[in-house]
Structure 1
Amino acid sequence: MVLIILSHGYIKRVDIYSAFTEGAVEGFKTAIKIMPYLIAIFIAIGIFRGSNALDMFIDLLAPITKLLGIPKEILPLIFIRPISGSGALGVVKDIISYYGPDSFPGVVASVMMGSSETIFYTIALYFGSIGVKDQGHTLKAALISYIISIFITIFICGTFYN
């Protein structure tokens, strides 16, 4: 890939080093521009996890999720995944350590981790970098698709697990 890029730049007579440094400068400017959004997300995640709000929320919703067929063991992952990728990895590690990788919660957590996105982080990153303030429609669409993916994941894993 590097050879292709260098060859293409040589053929098109592009000063590759200047183009690279200009790109690096633009990348640095973008990183500085999105920093407030990232800091806000990380602080919110820390407060949410540190205050035991997640545990209280899971206990509150457990009867409803039982009716919907959502295993209680993966509720922390369902709530953390759209917010934090590293937090979700920690939850998946805990699920797999406690229940095992071949258990139903372990399989569902693994599939969910591999097939979903950190919605709030991604929106903050992309929209923050280009300065978009109104994220409402994108957020609604992303959350609806995430909720649908939860049920599809549980259905497919349940079909193949049993």
Structure 2
Amino acid sequence: MNVIAAISTLFLPSLVVLILLFALIKKKDAYGAFTEGGKEGIRLSVSLLPFLLGMLVAINILRASGFLDAMNQALSPLLITFNIPPDLLPLLFIRPISGSAALGMVADLTATYGADHFISRAAAIVQGSTDTTLYVLTVYFGAVGIKKMGRALTIGLLADLAGMTTAILITLWYFS
């Protein structure tokens, strides 16, 4: 076994021992702190549940309504002008909303076209270059009670647009 493998195998157990030793030295109740953290985690999960449920319902309505297909048909000529495959459009729309839905789309594109196809590569780079802006805003801002999120939404969506544009340009440049 090489040194890096040995270090990575021992890292987590060493970290746990280090935390317990630190708690012992400071005379703190490590188990009590651990269980209190677990309670806080459960409370946070329960408070996030309505926001997650609302986002999941909205995503399913968006996908089932045919909105993405209609947008794909309407914007296909514009996308072709800029050498962007229209099959990427649903991913570009859903990525700021849901990471898991976007990951499912990337998996579908990869299964359809193969891992070495331009569309699959572009989809993977878009997935890694952008964030789930609407998800983050609704879930985390909602959980802490932030009501005014207009500027954060604008900046987040602009960052997503920049990430998507850069991802497609990099794919065109590197893989063409």
Q: Would the aligned equivalents of 2:129 and 2:164 in 1 still touch at CA under 8 Å? A: no
Counting only pairs closer than 5 Å after superposition, residues 114-129 of structure 1 correspond to structure 2 as 114-129=128-143
Quick one: distance in 2 between partners of 1:148 and 1:70?
15
* Pairing partner for 1:39 from 53, 58, 63: 53
1:9 aligns with 2:23: yes
Q: Which runs of 4+ in 1 moved over 3 A?
A: none
Code of the residue aligned with 2:33 in structure 1: it is A
Structure 1 alignment gaps of length 5 or more: none
Superposition deviation, residue 66 in structure 1: 2.3
* Pairing partner for 1:135 from 129, 145, 149: 149
Q: Would the aligned equivalents of 1:34 and 1:124 in 2 still touch at CA under 8 Å? A: no
SS at match of 2:130: coil
* Identity rate, percent: 38
Counting only pairs closer than 5 Å after superposition, residues 3-152 of structure 1 correspond to structure 2 as 3-152=17-166
- 1:155 is matched with 169
Structure 2 alignment gaps of length 5 or more: 1-14
Q: Would the aligned equivalents of 2:52 and 2:139 in 1 still touch at CA under 8 Å? A: yes
Deviations 1:24-65 (Å, cap 9, x if unpaired)? 111122112222111110000111111111111111111222
The structure number with the bigger radius of gyration is 2
- Higher RCO (CA 8 Å, separation ≥ 6 residues): 1
Quick one: distance in 2 between partners of 1:120 and 1:24?
27
Superposition deviation, residue 4 in structure 1: 2.1
